[in-house]
């Protein structure tokens, strides 16, 4: 495999790698009850396996990023994917909840190496090409988000919950083989760099003192918090508000899938705009403005006592579309000014964004009143306003367009 901008195989590999963490969450959702019954614990306790996976997914990149800047993306990916495969098989063999929680943590730590895909895109391509590649990665992630729960249900229909982990391990083996055999190192390694704690700390200090990277990290975190809020709150509202909305799970799944498809459409639109010469700054302004406008419209409708399913579903899809338009540009801009430590920057940004997203999700759940979408739309409106304000008010220029 040659690391060329026109290589479809490279695009597929990056998309497949980036989708691993999301598949590790979504494919297991249909099997939570079956897992609880097999391990003789409550379903809510098995839900902690998702938390364990996401915790390591937030923390592990902080190690992978600076390591990959020094030893390379390829060996880091090989280590992480090997850990993912081993931990997935260990999950399949777990005989207790404690064992499953421990192995799910290590599974997430292995999957976290795939967050390097955005750094790889920045390694290989100029700004405009990287923007298109990142858009394709976002599309791949959302394809998995749409099909993973159904895939998990299909696997559960022919086997038990352990088979789902075997399937994940098998997918990891395929990706590992492709990386080992066909992927060329993308990072421009500095042979004088040392893998020492002091050197890693210096890299994180460089990130923390670079205004461009920090501002776009916070813009991405606020935008991501908007989406995490609707992921959590939409289920509570559409399914949980009985007598007002009270959709069946299958009906809600259609809405959720439509939102994932809207993110994909947004990323496709951004890719087209890039090829037509649209500046990233203008695209981000439009995307973040649309994100705030649609979130605010939902808040206004809620405060007015209006709870139309069709109206809320439509506005949620607009939110998802706006996020899809904005996200590739935000990711690209975050690493723009520090390309030599793109792994470190991407790791720090990803961890911050996941922590903020988890916080937004928790706020929605804690303040849900059981009668309306107020907690969801309030968090969405505040988060989207913060994202737009940070972008518009930042005393820094947008990343330049290369000729």
φ and ψ at residue 369, rounded to 5 degrees:
-95, 0
Same domain, 249 and 164: no
245 lies in the same domain as 287: yes
- Which among 145, 165, 181 is the end of a domain? 181
Q: What is the pTM assigned to this prediction?
A: 0.78
Please state which of the ranges 91-100, 211-220, 246-255 shows the lowest mean pLDDT: 246-255
- My answer on whether 176 and 215 are in the same domain is no
- Arithmetic mean of pLDDT, 191-197: 63
In a domain, 195, yes or no: no
Instruction: Please say whether the beta carbons of 101 and 226 come within 8 A.
Output: no
**Tell me, what CATH number does 145's domain have?**
1.20.1250.20
The answer to whether the beta carbons of residues 72 and 180 sit under 8 Å apart is no
Q: What is the pLDDT of residues 63-93, one digit of tens each?
A: 998 888 888 899 999 999 999 999 999 999 9
Q: Is 106 in the same domain as 158?
A: yes
223 and 156 in a common domain: no
The residue segments making up the domain with residue 362 are: 205-393
What confidence category does residue 149 fall into, taking pLDDT thresholds of 50, 70 and 90? Answer: confident
Residue 328: predicted pLDDT = 87
Clarify whether residues 109 and 233 are in a common domain.
no
Tell me: the pLDDT tens digits for 266-286? 988 988 887 787 788 889 999
Please tell me the distance from the alpha carbon of residue 101 to that of residue 52, in angstroms, as a whole number. 6
Query: Which three-class secondary structure string do you get for 88-114?
Result: HHHHHCCCCHHHHHHHHHHHHHHHHHH
User: Which one has a higher pLDDT value, 4 or 224?
Assistant: 224
Q: Is residue 252 part of a domain?
A: yes
What is the model's pLDDT at position 54?
82
Do both 164 and 225 map to the same domain? no
- What is the DSSP annotation of 56-95? HHHHTHHHHHHHHHHH-HHHHHHHHHHHHHHHHHHHHT--
Instruction: Please count the other Cβ atoms lying within 10 Å of the Cβ belonging to residue 265.
Output: 17
142 and 278 within one domain: no
- If one counts the domains in the chain, the total is 2
Q: Looking at the domain assignment, is residue 274 inside a domain?
A: yes
Q: Which residue has the higher pLDDT, 400 or 362?
A: 362
pLDDT digits (tens, 9 = 90+) for 357-396: 888 888 887 888 878 889 999 999 999 999 999 998 865 5
- Specify whether the backbone of 278 is left (phi greater than 0), alpha (psi in -120 to 50) or beta: beta
> What is the pLDDT of the chain when averaged over all its residues?
84
Whole-angstrom Cα distance, residue 320 to residue 226?
A: 9
Q: Which of 79, 100, 83, 80 is nearest to 91 (CA)?
A: 100
Alpha-carbon Rg for the chain, nearest whole angstrom, is 21
d(CA 136, CA 120) in angstroms, rounded, equals 13
Residue 380 lies in a domain: yes
Q: Check pLDDT > 60 for residue 261.
A: yes
Domain-located, residue 65: yes
Do 171 and 211 lie in one domain? The reply is: no
Q: Is the distance from CB of 105 to CB of 55 less than 8 angstroms?
A: yes
Q: Is residue 256 in some structural domain?
A: yes
Considering the domain architecture, whether residues 163 and 258 belong to the same structural domain is answered as no
Strands (E) in 265-308, as ranges, are none
Share of the chain above pLDDT 70, in %: 90
Of the residues 125, 147, 181, the one at which a domain ends: 181
Q: Establish if 186 belongs to a structural domain.
A: no
Provide, rounded to the nearest whole percent, the portion of the chain with pLDDT above 90. Answer: 33
HEC profile of 239-294? CCCCCCCCCCHHHHHHHHHHHHHHHHHHHHHHHHHHHCCCCHHHHHHHHHHHHHHH
* 257 and 148 housed in the same domain: no
Query: Residue 349 domain-assigned?
Result: yes
In this structure, the answer to whether residues 168 and 210 fall within a common structural domain is no
Round to whole Å and give the CA distance between 138 and 266.
Answer: 9
The pairs formed by 359-365 with CB atoms below 8 angstroms and a separation of 24 or more are 359/225, 360/225, 360/226, 360/228, 360/229, 360/232, 361/228, 361/229, 361/231, 361/232, 363/229, 364/229, 364/232, 364/233, 364/236, 365/232, 365/236
């Amino acid at each position: 495999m040659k690391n060329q901008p026109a290589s479809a195989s490279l695009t597929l590999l990056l998309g497949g790698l980036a989708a691993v963490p999301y598949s590790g969450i979504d494919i297991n959702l249909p099997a939570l009850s079956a897992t609880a019954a097999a391990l003789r614990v409550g379903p809510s306790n098995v839900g902690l396996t998702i938390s364990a996976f996401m915790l390591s997914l937030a923390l592990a990149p902080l190690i992978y990023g600076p390591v990959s800047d020094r030893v390379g993306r390829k060996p880091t990916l090989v280590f992480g994917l090997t850990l993912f495969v081993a931990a997935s098989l260990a999950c399949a063999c777990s005989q207790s909840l404690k064992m499953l929680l421990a192995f799910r943590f290590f599974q997430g730590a292995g999957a976290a190496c795939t967050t390097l895909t955005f750094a790889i895109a920045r390694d290989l391509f100029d700004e405009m090409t990287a923007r298109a590649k990142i858009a394709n990665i976002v599309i791949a992630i959302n394809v998995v988000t749409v099909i993973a729960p159904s895939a998990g249900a299909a696997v559960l229909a022919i086997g038990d919950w352990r088979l789902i982990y075997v399937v994940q391990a098998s997918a990891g083996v395929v990706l590992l083989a492709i990386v080992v055999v066909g992927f060329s190192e993308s990072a421009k390694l500095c042979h004088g760099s040392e893998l020492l704690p002091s050197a890693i700390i210096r890299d994180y200090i460089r990130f923390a003192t670079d205004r461009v990277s920090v501002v776009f990290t916070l813009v991405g975190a606020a935008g991501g918090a908007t989406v995490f809020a609707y992921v959590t709150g939409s289920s509570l509202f559409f399914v949980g508000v009985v007598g007002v909305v009270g959709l069946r799970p299958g009906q809600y799944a259609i809405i959720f899938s439509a939102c994932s498809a809207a993110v994909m459409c947004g990323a496709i639109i951004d890719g087209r705009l890039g090829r037509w010469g649209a500046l990233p700054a203008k695209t981000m302004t439009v995307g973040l403005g649309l994100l705030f406008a649609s979130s605010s419209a939902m808040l206004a409708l809620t405060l007015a006592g209006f709870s139309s399913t069709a109206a809320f579903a439509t506005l949620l899809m607009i939110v998802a579309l706006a996020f899809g338009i904005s996200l590739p540009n935000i990711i690209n801009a975050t690493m723009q000014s520090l390309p030599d430590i793109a792994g470190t920057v991407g790791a720090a940004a990803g961890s911050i964004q996941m922590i903020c997203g988890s916080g937004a999700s928790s706020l929605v759940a804690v303040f849900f009143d059981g009668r309306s979408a107020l907690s969801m739309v309030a968090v969405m409106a505040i988060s989207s306003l913060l994202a737009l304000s940070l972008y518009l008010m930042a005393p820094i220029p947008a990343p330049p367009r290369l000729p």
